[in-house]
Amino acid sequence: MPLTLNPGQTLLFTGDSVTDCGRRDDPEGLGSGYVRDIVASGALEGAAVINTGVGGNRVIDLEKRWQQDVLGHRPDVVSMLIGVNDVWRRYDSNDPTTLEQFAAGYRSLLSQAADAGIRLVLLEPFVLPVTEEQISWREDLNPKIEAVHELAAEFDAILVPTDRELTALAADVGPSTLAVDGVHPTEQGHREIADLWLDTVLARP
């Protein structure tokens, strides 16, 4: 079911750098990425919007700050995009997050939010390979995306198919048009994520 936001409700976005996007240097706290684009659309008018994304975060990092940075704000809705760093650290730092660790940590976050009566929106983690090495990331990323799908069903969350849709678009416009390094979106990439979020979560006509 699409989300219905009532005036006065609080919607919180959290995750890694794709959500963070400089929000701590922004007087409005929104950052310069897809969160700002969603707010700029006017579709969330009347709702309070909070961004607590932190660059570099993995699920384990989000677990450590979940109480303070998410539940502590008493949001009505939480939108979460996390997972690419759980993949990336395997390849650049030999510090993997197993599928079991990823799913268990993610489930713990959702369980706490559900117990607090929070409506959940989950975005697929994504990579748009611009190097040969990033193509190999799919071995690690795809099972984690599947875990997000399963958790979305388990917790009756709205699932935003970020990876699927951006991958399809990248086939037409080129991956670096959407994410110059395959991970961090360009301005166009952020607009595409915002549009997909609005279309999926709010069933925007």
pTM, two decimals, is: 0.97
Rg value, the chain, Cα: 16
pLDDT at residue 175 above 90? yes
Catalytic positions are 17, 181, 184
Quick one: average pLDDT of 45-66? Answer: 98
pLDDT at residue 97 above 80? yes
At residue 115 the predicted structure's pLDDT band, cuts being 50, 70 and 90, is very high
List Cβ<8 Å contacts ≥24 apart for 129-137: 129/175, 129/182, 130/175, 130/176, 130/179, 130/180, 130/181, 130/182, 131/182, 133/91, 134/182, 136/91, 137/87, 137/88, 137/91
At residue 195 the predicted structure's pLDDT band, cuts being 50, 70 and 90, is very high
Predicted pLDDT at 126: 98
Quick one: average pLDDT of 40-53? Answer: 96
All structural domains of the chain, each given as residue ranges with its CATH number in brackets, are 10-199 (3.40.50.1110)
At residue 205 the predicted structure's pLDDT band, cuts being 50, 70 and 90, is low
Question: Are residues 14 and 69 in contact, defined by beta-carbon separation less than 8 angstroms?
Answer: yes
Using the structure block, give the residue that is written with the tokens 């709205």: 158
pLDDT at residue 158 above 70? yes
pLDDT at residue 5 above 90? no
Mean per-residue pLDDT of the chain: 97
Please give the share of the chain, as a percent, with pLDDT higher than 70.
Answer: 100
Predicted pLDDT at 86: 98
